[in-house]
């Protein structure tokens, strides 16, 4: 079970803005709805911010909880954020009166503004009608906001063989135009953290909290060879025994054939490759900008360097 990075990413800026913040990871135990509501009532918050890890199938649970929370705490504002509500804000506000506002897109800046009662980058209800403010600009400097690591007990979270683990983001977005993917529409542009500062944070997580495994939430952390290589070299210089797992494109692995030894030395043990299909016509139709030959070469190179290649396919694209 891994920490809820999206909620922690919101928590850090809220704490820095002067708010008292408490994280309830209801998925960990897992807590039944009645117990979730009981704990929220006991905390008596002014605002409840809810979210999940992007899956549309989790949305009905959010609706159920929002109705229960609003019934117990009518004066408490309920704010919903994430990928699914970003795309479906109008339907959600029309169908669930218990949800007061929706954060659209990246939440670090918008969540604080919502809490301060100014709302660029959100959707809300006005006279029974669902409305949205102007689209918030993407966050240019990802290092301007911090993850609220102090909100979790690191001993509760593990991955990759039961080792203490966290989820992180080096970058956001993807520069490619695959037409089946919602990530580009959510993040809008590809950006990355400062490679040296990011490596320093990962080293701090190991030294201060005993974190052993780093799971990258990025769609494409390797998009910039220069930035990714700078990160690998900075992490190697930190000399911490971390295990890194994540996702990337096969083309980036082939591009980096001459620096894959740095991947291994930094601690990379697995990359998930979004291969999606081996049918050339399908790859063209979905604008994947990839080929089976490139995929095969990427897997060969990863194996050569002792890195697991996890190949992901999407059934039904044909």
pLDDT tens digits, one per residue of 204-220: 999 999 999 999 999 99
Q: Could you read off the pLDDT of 9-31 as tens digits, one per residue?
A: 999 999 999 999 999 999 898 99
What is the mean pLDDT of the segment spanning 80-93? 94
pLDDT score recorded for residue 54: 66
245: which strand partners?
215, 270
Q: How high is the mean pLDDT of the chain?
A: 93
Q: Where are the alpha helices (DSSP H) in the chain?
A: 5-16, 33-43, 59-72, 83-87, 89-95, 108-115, 183-187, 195-209, 225-238, 250-255, 260-266, 280-285, 292-304
Q: In which band, very low, low, confident or very high, does the pLDDT at 103 lie, cut at 50, 70 and 90? A: very high
pLDDT of residue 77: 92
So what's the pLDDT on residue 317? 84
CB 95: neighbour CB atoms within 10 A?
11
CA distance 13 to 148: 8
Of the listed ranges 99-113, 162-176, 246-260, the least confidently predicted one is 99-113
Checking phi first, is residue 50 left (phi over 0); if not, alpha (psi -120 to 50) or beta? beta
DSSP-assigned states of every residue in 175-218: S---TT-SHHHHH-S-EE--HHHHHHHHHHHHHHH---EEEE--
Q: Which residue has the higher pLDDT, 135 or 225?
A: 225
At 63-81, the pLDDT tens digits run 999 999 999 999 999 999 9
The winner for highest mean pLDDT among 185-189, 218-222, 280-284, 288-292 is: 218-222
C-alpha triplet 75, 77, 83: angle, nearest 5°: 160
Q: How many helices (H) and strands (E) does the chain have?
A: 13, 13
Q: Does 118 score more than 60 pLDDT?
A: no
Q: What is the pLDDT of residues 170-190, one digit of tens each?
A: 999 999 989 888 887 888 899
Percent of the chain whose predicted confidence (pLDDT) is above 70: 98
In this structure, what DSSP letter does residue 266 have? H
pLDDT band with cut points at 50, 70 and 90 for residue 133: confident
Res 117: pLDDT: 65
pTM, entire model: 0.87
**Cβ(235)–Cβ(260) under 8 Å?**
no
Going from the C-alpha of 1 to that of each of 40, 159, 227, 259, 272, the distances in angstroms are 22, 6, 29, 31, 18
Residue 32: C-alpha distances to residues 25, 29, 35, 81, 231 (Å): 12, 9, 5, 21, 41
Return the SS3 of 174: coil
Q: Tens digit of pLDDT for each residue in 223-280?
A: 999 999 999 999 999 999 999 999 999 999 999 999 999 999 999 999 999 999 988 8
């Amino acid at each position: 079970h891994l920490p809820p990075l999206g909620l922690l990413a919101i928590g850090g800026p809220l704490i820095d803005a002067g708010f008292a913040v408490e994280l309830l990871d209801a998925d960990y135990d897992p807590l039944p709805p009645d117990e979730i509501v009981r704990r929220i009532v006991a905390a008596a918050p002014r605002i409840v911010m809810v979210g999940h890890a992007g899956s549309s199938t989790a949305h009905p649970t959010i609706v159920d909880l929002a109705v229960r929370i609003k019934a117990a705490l009518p004066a408490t504002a309920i704010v919903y954020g994430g990928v699914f509500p970003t795309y479906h804000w109008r339907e959600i506000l029309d169908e669930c009166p218990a949800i007061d506002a929706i954060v659209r897109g990246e939440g670090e800046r918008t969540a604080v503004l919502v809490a301060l009662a100014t709302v660029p980058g959100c959707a809300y209800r006005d006279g029974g009608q669902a409305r949205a403010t102007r689209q918030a600009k993407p966050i240019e400097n990802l290092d301007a906001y911090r993850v609220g690591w102090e909100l979790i007990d690191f001993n509760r979270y593990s991955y990759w063989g039961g080792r203490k683990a966290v989820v992180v983001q080096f970058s956001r977005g993807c520069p490619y135009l695959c037409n089946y993917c919602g990530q580009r529409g959510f993040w809008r542009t590809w950006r990355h953290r400062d490679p040296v500062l990011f490596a320093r944070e990962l080293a701090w997580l190991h030294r201060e909290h005993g974190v052993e495994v780093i799971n990258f939430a990025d769609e494409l952390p390797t998009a910039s060879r220069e930035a990714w290589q700078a990160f690998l070299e900075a992490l190697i210089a930190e000399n911490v025994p971390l295990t890194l797992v994540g996702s990337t494109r096969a083309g980036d692995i082939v591009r980096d054939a001459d620096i894959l030894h740095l991947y291994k030395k930094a601690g990379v043990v697995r990359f998930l490759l979004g291969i999606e299909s081996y049918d050339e016509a399908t790859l063209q139709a979905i604008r994947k900008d990839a080929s089976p030959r490139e995929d095969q070469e990427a897997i060969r190179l990863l194996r050569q360097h002792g890195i697991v290649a996890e190949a992901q396919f999407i059934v039904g694209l044909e």
